[in-house]
Amino acid sequence: LNKNYSKTNIITIVVGSTPDLGATLERTDVYTSDSTGNVVLRLVNKGPVNIKFLNVKVLQNENVKVIGADEVYVGKLDSDDFSTAEFKLFVTGKNSVKIPIQVTYKDTNNNDYKDTREVELRLYSSSDAKYFGVKKNNNFGWIASAVLVIGAAYYYYRKRKGKK
């Protein structure tokens, strides 16, 4: 028939991977048991796939109580990038406390992920926290003692001077 025919087929392959999300402690104001302070968590996307709709929630337990918002929406987290989420917590325990967090997110193919993790928070005794310089020394006792000694000396001096 001497006619050329051409047919074009388009084939798509969806290439994807499972996201690799890490959670660590970035910084904290909480160093001793039975104290309240801000805890900042660092969320790292270590995988080759972007993460979207990332949400972080702190789950309360007997050692961790959330003061204020217990959930933070982070949003998009690109591959090889990080973001932070800050929470105000009251913690109790000895040596360390495991902060339970729940992360929910989607990958680029809109697959849902929900994961529960624990982030360790080290706690120190009051004396160790002062030694490491993370807890301020309370100088009120020394100042009050000095004022009392000076006041007693002045009173004694005035009383002796009045007798002469």
For 3-44, what is each residue's pLDDT tens digit? 888 888 888 877 778 899 999 999 999 999 999 999 999 999
User: Residue 71: which pLDDT band, with cuts at 50, 70 and 90?
Assistant: very high
| Contact call for residues 74 and 53 (beta carbons, < 8 A) | no
Which amino acid does the sequence have at 45?
N
Residue showing tokens 């009392």? 148
- Cα of first residue to Cα of last residue in the chain, in angstroms, is 141
Residue showing tokens 């009120």? 140
**pLDDT: is 113 or 4 the higher one?**
113
| Contact call for residues 20 and 80 (beta carbons, < 8 A) | no
Rounded Cα distance, 21 and 80, in Å: 10
Task: Please tell me the least confidently modeled range out of 14-18, 39-43, 46-50, 120-124.
Answer: 14-18
| Contact call for residues 19 and 78 (beta carbons, < 8 A) | no
Starting at the edge strand that comes first in sequence, how are the strands of the sheet with 64-67 ordered? Answer: 21-28, 35-45, 81-91, 64-67
pLDDT number for residue 149: 86
Task: Please tell me the least confidently modeled range out of 40-44, 86-90, 114-118, 158-162.
Answer: 158-162
pLDDT number for residue 122: 93
Q: Is the pLDDT of residue 126 over 70?
A: yes
Rounded Cα distance, 29 and 13, in Å: 48
